[in-house]
Amino acid sequence: MAEVELHTVAGWTPEMVARLQKSWISTADQVVAVSVTAGGLQALAEQLGVSKDEAQRLVHLARAALSPESRTEMGRRFDSNDRGMGVLGPGKEGGNAPG
């Protein structure tokens, strides 16, 4: 799946795109993925300098630009509790279980 560059999404101004690029966010896929994380929508609103409602509207525009497959994949909440810092914990497959 090809990522959708944020500057190609209708409704996103060059200024908004530039603000997010300072945080290394440059695609609609990334905007949608961030929006479903805990506090992600609020973080986007703050980064963009807009209200939370306006950030939600912009996320909807970004989501609409994605393929149906990407919409499904990027819209899922991700639980990182099982994947902290890239290291498997004790007792996890491949981890260093006491023993």
pLDDT of residue 71: 75
Question: 3-class DSSP state for residue 54?
Answer: helix
CA distance 55 to 5: 17
Domain ranges of the chain: 6-75
pLDDT of residue 65: 93
pLDDT tens track of the chain, all 99 residues?
Answer: 688 999 999 999 999 999 999 999 999 999 998 998 889 999 999 999 999 999 999 999 999 999 888 877 765 655 555 555 555 556 655 555 454
The span from the first CA to the last CA of the chain, in angstroms, equals: 43
pLDDT of residue 67: 85
Query: Among residues 62, 70, 18, which one has the least CA distance to residue 40?
Result: 62
pLDDT of residue 39: 92
pLDDT of residue 49: 95
The model's pTM: 0.72
